[in-house]
Structure 1
Amino acid sequence: MAAQRVLIVDDEPDIRELLDITLSRMGLETFSAATLGEAQSLVSEVSPDLCLTDMKLPDGNGIHLVEYIQEAHSHIPVAMITAHGSVETAISALKAGAFDFISKPIELESLRSLVSRALQLDGDTASLNKAVSSDLIGNAPSIQKLRKQITKLARSQAPVHIQGESGSGKEVVARLIHHNGPRAAGNFVAVNCGAIPPDLMESELFGHIKGSFTGATADKPGLFQAAAGGTLFLDEVADLPISMQVKLLRAIQEKAVRPVGSNEETATDVRLLSATHKDLVAEIDAGRFRNDLFYRINVIDLHVPSLRERAEDLPQLARTILERIASEQEEEKLRLDDSAIEALSNYSFPGNVRELENILERALALSDGDLITAEDLQFSSMSSRNPTTRARESDKEGKHTWSEEEAYGDIEGYLDEMEKQILSKALEDSRWNKTATAKLLGISFRSLRYRLKKLGLDE
């Protein structure tokens, strides 16, 4: 098997020699150019598998070479060599289509890691498209565009910011970018920035050393370390406190993190993806998000369409999701009748695909046959719920008294607690016989099983 080829473009002989020796020891065949013109000629002549180029060249710059290769030889990944701390240059290169960048002075371990990742790209765009299509359901123009963007971005190491409404599938998109790229063998670590208490956030992201604070009984690696060699996905990044945004910015720019309590930084090797349902520009204007961090994570902006923007995909999406849910629950194959499809098509889905999944899971539990109808979807009961539920009086056993004020701000939690208490009592009265419990409550066994699972009573 012929050795893979790498084109080295730099006007400094010492740099070219260093790269040539390092890459040759990796079993790679190298070619060198000192100018933009020489590089363009060699790209056509030797068809390299990777191009490493300096930013400053005697007759142009590395960005021009990136653009040339993107236009005429888009299958060839290009990595940019930049001056230390030149964040603007690195971002410009990534926006132009560079695979990744590395800063001078060049660290050989980082170089070998970058080259290894880049050469994992086999240029099989058709296979990537097929893989993305199988996970991203639909044929609406907005989805077709998104599919093409994912395929292209999977081949890059550029930070991507994914924007879209809650429930639209931002994490699905992030996972597709990871699993179809050169980091697929590494970990995909997703973290909801809004779910971590502010006082624990630094430790969670960067780790801590033993004794750094009360309760730190051992060294603990952070999420950056857990994602080493893979992808770190920061969901709801707009919820990061300002103080944490400063530390995150430094970690991204220096490609290193400092665990809590440590005096030394640890190098990191992660691809950063982020997402939010908020408008980050508006958050910046309101003083809640740093402009410099936005500039760093938003190298590539990706929009995930809401379900309303791809309404023509709803029937196919609903049938595919229902089939998956039924398979996971080991149920027989169920179908949606025309009335159900019409009811779904007339609904606005403020919760997008996630809400569609919840509606179909509930419908599957409540349906008695193998056909789901509009009635099983229970849209009327969803719209009729309101927080003015009649208060319940305390029973003789002294159980909790429910009042309408408890539903304010959390009606779903209020109703779940009521249902949980009713189910627990029915199970107890039926001596934990689920068939008898379903009969006592006047619901199907399937519906009972769904409700018990939803409320955590199925153990």
Structure 2
Amino acid sequence: MAAQRVLIVDDEPDIRELLDITLSRMGLETFSAANLTEARNMVSDIVPDLCLTDMRLPDGNGISLVEYIQQEHAHIPVAMITAHGSVETAISALKAGAFDFISKPIELETLRKLVSTALQLEGDISRLDKAVVQDLIGEAPAIQKLRSQITKLARSQAPVHICGESGSGKEVVARLIHNNGPRAPGNFIAVNCGAIPPDLMESELFGHLKGSFTGATSDKPGLFQAAAGGTLFLDEVADLPLVMQVKLLRAIQEKAVRPVGGSEEVPTDVRLLSATHKDLAAEVEAGRFRDDLYYRINVIDLQVPSLRERAEDLPMLARALLKRIAREHGNEQAALDDSAIEALSGYSFPGNVRELENILERSLALADSGAITADDLQFSTMKPRNPAARTRKSDRDGASTWSVEEAYGDLQGYLDDMERQILSKALEESRWNKTATAKLLGISFRSLRYRLKKLQLDD
């Protein structure tokens, strides 16, 4: 089998020689170019499996080469060599389509890891396309665009921020990026930033040493260490306290973390993905999220469409989800009849795909036969998801108030309805994490569990 080819682009002979020796010892065939013009010609002539390019070249810059290769040979990963601490340059390279970057002075072990990771991509493109099609169901234009973006981003190491409404499938997208990329053999660690108490967050993310605080009876690695070699997915990243945002920024920039109670930083190798249902740019504008961290994690922005934005996918998606749910319950005969599909198509799904899954699972349990009908969906008994849908009156100051008359004859039903709507909204905002929901509402977890069971919301 022929050795894989690497094109080295740098105007410094010493750097070219160092890279040539290191990569040759890895069993790779190397080619060198001293400027942008030579590099472009050699890319077309030899079609390398990987390109390493310096940022500053005598007749241009490395980003121009990245853009050229993205346009003419999109399957070739390009890694950028940048000056130490040049975060803006690194971000620009990643935005242009670079696979990853490495800073000068070049650490040889870091270089070997980068090259090995990049070369794992060779020959995987058709497999990636097929895998993403299988896991991301739908044919709507928004889904086809998302599928194409995931396939491309899976081959990169750039930080990606995933935007979308609660329940739209942001974690599913993050897992697809991880599972179809070179880090797939490593761990995928997902953490809901809104569900971790602020006083425990630093320990959870970075770990701690024995005796660093009361209750620290042994050393404990953090989530950054657990995700080493893989992907760390920070969900609801907008909920991070400002003090933790500073520490997260340093961890990303230095590619190292300092455990609580530790005096030295520990190197870490993770790909960072993040998500939130909030408008992160608006959070920056309001002073609740640091702009420097925003630009560091939002190198590439990925929008996940709501279920309403791809309504044509609903029948296909509902049938696929039901098939999976039924298989988990040992029911191979379950199906949706036409009346159920029509009823689902007429619903707005404020909770998106997660709400669709919950409705299907409940309907499967209630169905008398193998076929789920519109009656089994029980849409007629579902309460409005938004309290604003109720009739309101205005007081003398023009403020909205609830209509007391609605409670006449059925006070308990009225109160239950109000509580049901509040709990549903809080669950959606907390991504159905019950611990985070209880915290949001200021009640105990036991109280929340009791209320959900009483109101039949505990799916």
Structure 1 residues 112 and 313, CA, compared in 2 at 3 Å: closer, same or farther?
same
Match of 1:76 in 2: 76
Q: Which residue does the alignment assign to 1:159?
A: 159
| Aligned with residue 410 of structure 1, among 418, 423, 433 | 423
Aligned-residue identity in percent: 77
Distance (whole Å) between structure 1 residues aligned to residue 30 and residue 417 of structure 2: 74
- Aligned CA RMSD, in angstroms, stands at 2.4
Equivalent pair of 2:384/2:421 in contact (CA under 8 Å)? no
AA at the equivalent of 1:130:
K
Alignment of 1:175-324 (within 5 A): 175-324=175-324
CA distance in 2, matches of 1:407, 1:312: 30
Structure 2: distance between partners of 1:376 and 1:226? 43
CA contact (8 A) 2:12 2:34 kept: yes
Deviation sequence 1:197-217 (CA, Å, 0-9, x none) = 000000100111111111111
Which residue matches 1:57?
A: 57
The residue type paired with residue 227 of structure 1 is A
Q: Is the 8 A contact 2:100 2:158 kept in 1?
A: yes
What letter corresponds to residue 332 of structure 2 in structure 1?
E
The 3 A distance-change label for structure 1 pair 47 and 108 is same
Whole-Å separation in 2 of the counterparts to 1:377 and 1:421: 20
Q: Give secondary structure in 2 for the equivalent of 1:22.
A: helix
Matched residue, 1:429:
none
Deviation readout 1:287-341 (Å, 9 max, x if unpaired): 1001111100000000000000000000000011011000001113211111111
CA distance in 1, matches of 2:448, 2:253: 47
Equivalent residue, structure 2, for 1:398: none
Equivalent positions of 1:255-404 (< 5 A) are 255-383=255-383, 390=411
What is aligned with 1:432? none
Query: Equivalent residue of 1:383, what SS?
Result: coil
Quote the offset at 1:122 in angstroms.
1.8
SS at match of 2:330: coil
Q: How many angstroms does 1:384 deviate by?
A: 6.7
Q: CA deviation at 1:421?
A: 7.8
* CA 1:160–1:415: 2 relative to 1, 3 Å: closer
CA distance, structure 1, for counterparts of residue 310 and residue 269 of structure 2: 36
Deviations 1:14-55 (A, max 9, x none): 111111111111111111111111111111121111000000
Give the 3 Å change call, closer, same or farther, for CA 363–62 of structure 1 in structure 2. Answer: same
1:357 and 1:299 map into 2 onto residues whose CA distance is 32
Counterparts in 2 of 1:405 and 1:159: CA distance versus 1, 3 Å? closer
CA 1:418–1:88 in structure 2 vs 1: closer, same or farther (change >3 Å)?
closer
Whole-angstrom distance in 2 between the partners of 1:141 and 1:76: 27
Question: In the aligned structure 1, how far is the partner of 2:54 from the partner of 2:448?
Answer: 62
Mapped partners of 1:139, 1:419: distance in 2: 36
* Residues 340-384 of structure 1, C-alpha deviations (whole Å, 9 max, x = no match): 111101100000000000000000000010111111001121127
Unaligned runs of 5+ in 2: 388-405, 428-445
Counterpart of 1:107 in structure 2: which amino acid? E
Shift of the alpha carbon at 1:123? Answer: 3.8
Distance 1:305 1:144 in 2: 11
**SS of 1:410's equivalent?**
helix
Q: 5+ unaligned residues in a row in structure 1: which ranges?
A: 393-401, 423-450
**1:414–1:20 Cα change, 3 Å:** same
Per the alignment, in what secondary structure is the counterpart of residue 383 of structure 2? helix
**CA shift at 1:101, angstroms?**
0.2
2: distance between equivalents of 1:200 and 1:188?
A: 21
Contact 1:390 1:404 in 2 (8 A): no
Contact 1:257 1:267 in 2 (8 A): yes
Q: What one-letter code is carried by the residue in structure 2 that aligns with 1:137? A: I
Structure 1 residue 107 corresponds to structure 2 residue 107 = yes
Secondary structure, counterpart of 1:172 in structure 2: helix
Q: 1:124 to 1:236 in 2, by over 3 A?
A: same
TM-score of the pair, normalised by structure 2: 0.86
DSSP-derived class of the 2:6 partner: strand
Assess, with a 3 A threshold, how the Cα gap between structure 1 residues 75 and 410 changes in structure 2: closer, same or farther.
closer
* Larger gyration radius, structure 1 or structure 2: 1
Relative distance call for 1:56 and 1:75 in structure 2 (3 A) is same
**Alpha-carbon distance in structure 2 between the residues aligned to 1:374 and 1:408:** 23
Specify the code of the residue in structure 2 equivalent to 1:252.
I
Deviates more, 1:321-330 or 1:13-22: 13-22
Distance 1:384 1:16 in 2: 66
Cα distance, 1:352–1:270 mapped onto 2, change above 3 Å: same
State the TM-score, normalizing by the size of structure 1: 0.86
Partners of 1:101 and 1:280 lie apart in 2 by: 25
